[in-house]
């Protein structure tokens, strides 16, 4: 049911917009991220500094005092024949409580019958399990609970349990409606655990059945094998000026074998930042050209597209290959499209402009999508459909262990480049427990005095009261004075393409020594003389994204240095950031990111059309994974059986709408 059919109030529509909830299913599956169970503590057991929970009657009207945006409310509660003085912050609405009303108070005992409360409830909730949901500014826990309850009650008749009954019975699972009701309003711990198990199982079942369907689709795809002179390919490899690593050679061999095969190639090439995936892609594009086909390399940004264009043109032009570049609003756009359609361009590099409706290819045979998780499934498919039975390579710099990659990209063949080219020293990373460069200023100036360049990364473009983070504009104003006479410049996504290109070009020529930027430099920017990076508010980024960012300062044989700045004192946050200080292994980092954040954001499964996990975790939930994988295969093999037909057809319909085929 979409939001319009739900007839939500304006307040609830606003909540859905802020949380990215687009329909009733999104709302009902907006699950709590933790639960608290509160047991009453007798007054006789109150200890100074300890956490207490008690239920009593309001014994005085609340009084509220304000100082700026901070409010302090005080009131008294009768509990176990004792009068407890309670202080609570930023809950001014508590003044609406009525005398003798029952209250549950949770907080810290300060001694002398005084409690600083962290929360309160206008009823006895002792013994209850209280869910807590992820919040955004302006949204309360109560807002979310009311939205979910309203939606659940409105849609209960439409909540069908379509998982085959024999599978539910064989695993002793509870029904879906009971599971959904109890994950939001748990009756007890046992039922909550059963509810989570039931919903995790269904997520994994959908996931693995989707993969089975994808495998079936890709297995049907046949093409004419591509014939090329491998001796010429080897001559080209010898001309690159460096020796391929063992992993690069293995990945290159996989691609050449796929090109010669009658089966359409659908391959993931995953590797570390700076591991040399582009060189392998170049070999594939050259072999495809020798076979008489056009090739296309799709990059997520104009900056990266132009960079790829320059490197491919330099390497391939001596071999008679015409390389072109295409992006929106370029001066020669019309002329370039004509040359592509007439076959004058052998390899075209570009952004999403490559799959525009008015772009036609004479004989497209190979499509490569760089940083594949940044493109939606329809974008990738639209480009692939420009040719007949195109071979397809997806490249990703977010590498994950092969066993996990097989689980997530089960419909694809996988090549992994784990080793860096010889001579690369990687990047040393240091965590600075304040959001300031004061403590490292001497190191920064010393690096500039050596003639090196520096990236400074911020999470925001402009200052905002709603988003407390350093912004590039503010940092630019501060650092251009502090780091004078060195040239400091500003780069972010709101600049137009010409401005961004000019700034990156000047940085590449060392006319700019300090580049203050958002994550627009995360992908592909290659300035070898830049050997230091400073990342403000590092706690706001995922581990894999931070690893990608610091990859910008390990592009040469010089030692790269990355400083992570954060004034967040949360121990779990600091432990997470310290992972980057301990290892440069992208596989280990993405593995940790998967444990912390799940696969949706890391791997782009939400964009790929494969059902993402909300509760399930590919690393921790092995027992659910094993059962669901086996059951998905049973459904797929017996799709015409009355017990499985409707569920399989539902998943097949989703596949036809969303998946790469």
566 pLDDT tier (thresholds 50, 70, 90): very high
Same domain, 306 and 441: no
Whether 148 is in a domain gets the answer no
Same domain, 366 and 478: no
Same domain, 467 and 401: no
Question: What are the φ/ψ torsions at residue 477 (nearest 5 degrees)?
Answer: -65, -40
CATH number at 93 reads 2.40.50.140
658 pLDDT higher than 60: no
257: its two tokens: 């074998």
267: its two tokens: 């391959």
Residue where a domain terminates, one of 127, 151, 172: 127
Whether 32 is in a domain gets the answer no
Alpha carbon separation from 553 to 374, 427, 489, 532 (Å, rounded) = 22, 7, 18, 6
Asked whether the beta carbons of 532 and 447 are under 8 A apart, the reply is: yes
Q: What pLDDT score was predicted for residue 205?
A: 92
Handedness of CA 513, 517, 519, 525 (dihedral sign): negative
Same domain, 361 and 479: no
Asked whether the beta carbons of 425 and 484 are under 8 A apart, the reply is: no
Please give the angle made by the CA atoms of 494, 499 and 502, to the nearest 5 degrees: 140
411 pLDDT tier (thresholds 50, 70, 90): low
Whether 60 is in a domain gets the answer yes
Q: What pLDDT score was predicted for residue 661?
A: 35
Whether 654 is in a domain gets the answer no
- Report helix, strand or coil for 228: coil
Whether 589 is in a domain gets the answer no
Instruction: Identify the residue with better confidence: 215 or 169.
Output: 169
H/E stretch holding 369 reads strand 364-369
605 pLDDT higher than 50: no
Same domain, 244 and 393: yes
What is the mean pLDDT of the segment spanning 601-626? 64
607 pLDDT tier (thresholds 50, 70, 90): very low
Please give the angle made by the CA atoms of 578, 558 and 507, to the nearest 5 degrees: 95
Same domain, 380 and 254: yes
pLDDT digits (tens, 9 = 90+) for 446-480: 999 999 999 999 988 877 655 678 889 999 999 99
Whether 609 is in a domain gets the answer no
Distance CA 21, CA 23 (A): 6
- Report helix, strand or coil for 546: helix
Asked whether the beta carbons of 210 and 629 are under 8 A apart, the reply is: no
CATH number at 525 reads 3.40.50.300
- How many CA atoms does the CB half-sphere of 466 hold within 13 Å? 5
644 pLDDT higher than 50: yes
Same domain, 406 and 265: yes
Closest CA to 186 of 132, 127, 128: 128
Same domain, 406 and 298: yes
Distance CA 309, CA 315 (A): 10
Same domain, 572 and 512: yes
Percent above pLDDT 70 for the chain: 90
Distance CA 34, CA 539 (A): 20
Whether 166 is in a domain gets the answer no
What is the mean pLDDT of the segment spanning 8-28? 90
437 pLDDT higher than 70: yes
Whether 514 is in a domain gets the answer yes
Mean pLDDT across the chain, nearest whole number? 86
606 pLDDT tier (thresholds 50, 70, 90): very low
Alpha carbon separation from 454 to 488, 538, 562 (Å, rounded) = 10, 17, 10
Same domain, 320 and 245: yes
Residues 6+ apart with CB under 8 A from 578: 431
Best-predicted range by mean pLDDT (215-224, 308-317, 368-377): 308-317
Same domain, 403 and 532: no
User: Quick check: pTM over 0.75?
Assistant: no
User: Based on the structure, what is the number of domains in the chain?
Assistant: 3
262-295 b/e (C-beta count within 10 Å ≥ 16 → b): ebbbbbbbbbbbbbbbbbbbbbbbbbbbbbebbb
Which domain range does residue 501 map to?
427-583
601 pLDDT tier (thresholds 50, 70, 90): very low
485 pLDDT tier (thresholds 50, 70, 90): very high
Closest CA to 39 of 18, 28, 54, 59: 54
380 pLDDT tier (thresholds 50, 70, 90): low
Same domain, 356 and 413: yes
In the chain, DSSP finds a helix count (H) and a strand count (E) of 24, 21
Residues 6+ apart with CB under 8 A from 47: 109
Q: What pLDDT score was predicted for residue 443?
A: 95
Q: What pLDDT score was predicted for residue 596?
A: 65
201 pLDDT tier (thresholds 50, 70, 90): very high
Residue where a domain terminates, one of 127, 146, 164: 127
Residue where a domain terminates, one of 89, 109, 127: 127
């Amino acid at each position: 049911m979409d939001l319009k059919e739900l007839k939500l109030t304006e307040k609830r529509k606003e909540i859905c917009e802020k949380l990215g909830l687009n329909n009733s299913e999104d709302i009902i599956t907006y699950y709590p991220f933790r639960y608290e169970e509160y047991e009453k503590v007798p007054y006789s057991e109150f200890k100074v500094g300890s956490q207490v929970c008690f239920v009593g009657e309001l014994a005085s009207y609340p009084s509220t005092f304000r100082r700026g945006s901070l409010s302090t409310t005080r009131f008294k509660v009768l509990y176990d024949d004792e009068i407890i003085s309670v202080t609570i912050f930023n809950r001014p609405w508590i003044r609406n409580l009525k005398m003798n009303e029952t209250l549950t108070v949770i907080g810290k005992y300060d001694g002398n019958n005084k409690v600083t409360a962290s929360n309160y409830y206008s009823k006895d909730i002792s013994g209850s399990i209280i869910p807590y949901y992820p919040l955004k500014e302006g949204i309360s826990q109560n807002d979310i609970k009311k939205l979910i309850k309203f939606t659940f009650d409105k849609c209960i008749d439409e909540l069908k349990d379509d998982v085959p009954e024999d599978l539910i019975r064989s695993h002793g699972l509870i029904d879906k409606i009971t599971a959904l009701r109890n994950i939001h309003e748990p009756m007890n711990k046992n039922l909550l655990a059963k509810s989570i198990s039931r919903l995790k199982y269904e997520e994994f079942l959908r996931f693995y059945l989707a993969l089975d369907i994808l495998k079936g689709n890709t297995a049907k795809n046949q093409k004419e094998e591509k014939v090329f002179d491998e001796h010429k390919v080897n001559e080209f490899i010898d001309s690159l000026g460096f020796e391929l690593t063992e992993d690069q050679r293995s990945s290159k061999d996989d691609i050449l074998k796929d090109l010669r095969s009658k089966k359409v190639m659908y391959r993931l090439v995953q590797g570390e930042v700076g591991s040399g995936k582009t060189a392998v892609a170049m070999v594939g594009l050259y072999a495809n050209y020798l076979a008489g086909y056009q090739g296309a390399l799709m990059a997520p940004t104009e900056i990266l597209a132009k960079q790829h264009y320059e490197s491919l043109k330099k390497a391939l032009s001596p071999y008679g290959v015409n390389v072109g570049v295409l992006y929106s609003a370029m001066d020669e756009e019309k002329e370039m499209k004509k040359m592509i359609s007439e076959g004058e361009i052998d390899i075209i590099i570009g952004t999403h402009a490559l799959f525009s409706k008015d772009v036609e290819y004479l004989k497209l045979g190979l499509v490569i999508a760089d940083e594949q998780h940044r493109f939606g499934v329809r974008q990738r498919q639209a480009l692939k459909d420009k040719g007949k039975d195109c071979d397809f390579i997806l490249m990703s710099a977010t590498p994950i262990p092969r066993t996990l990659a097989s689980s997530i990209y089960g419909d694809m063949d996988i090549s992994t480049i784990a080793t860096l080219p010889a001579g690369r020293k990687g990047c040393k990373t240091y965590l600075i427990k304040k959001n300031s460069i004061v403590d490292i200023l001497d190191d920064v100036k010393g690096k500039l005095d050596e003639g090196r360049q520096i990236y400074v990364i911020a999470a925001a473009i402009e200052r905002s009261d709603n988003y407390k983070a350093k912004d590039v504009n503010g940092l630019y104003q501060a650092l251009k004075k502090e780091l004078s006479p060195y040239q400091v410049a500003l780069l972010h996504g709101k600049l137009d393409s010409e401005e961004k290109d000019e700034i990156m070009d000047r940085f590449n020529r060392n006319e700019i020594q300090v580049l203050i930027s958002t994550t627009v430099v995360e992908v592909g920017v290659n300035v070898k003389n830049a050997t230091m990076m400073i990342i403000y508010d590092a706690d706001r980024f995922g581990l894999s994204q931070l690893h990608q960012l610091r990859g910008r300062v390990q592009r040469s044989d010089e030692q790269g240095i990355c400083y992570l700045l954060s004034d967040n004192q949360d121990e779990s946050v600091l432990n997470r950031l310290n992972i980057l200080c301990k290892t440069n292994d992208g596989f280990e980092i993405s593995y940790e990111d998967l444990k912390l954040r799940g696969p949706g954001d890391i791997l782009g499964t939400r964009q790929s059309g494969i059902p993402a996990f909300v509760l399930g975790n590919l690393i921790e939930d092995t027992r659910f994974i094993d059962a669901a994988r086996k059951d998905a295969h049973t459904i797929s093999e017996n799709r015409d059986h009355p017990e499985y037909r409707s569920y399989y057809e539902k998943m097949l319909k989703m596949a036809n709408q969303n998946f790469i085929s």
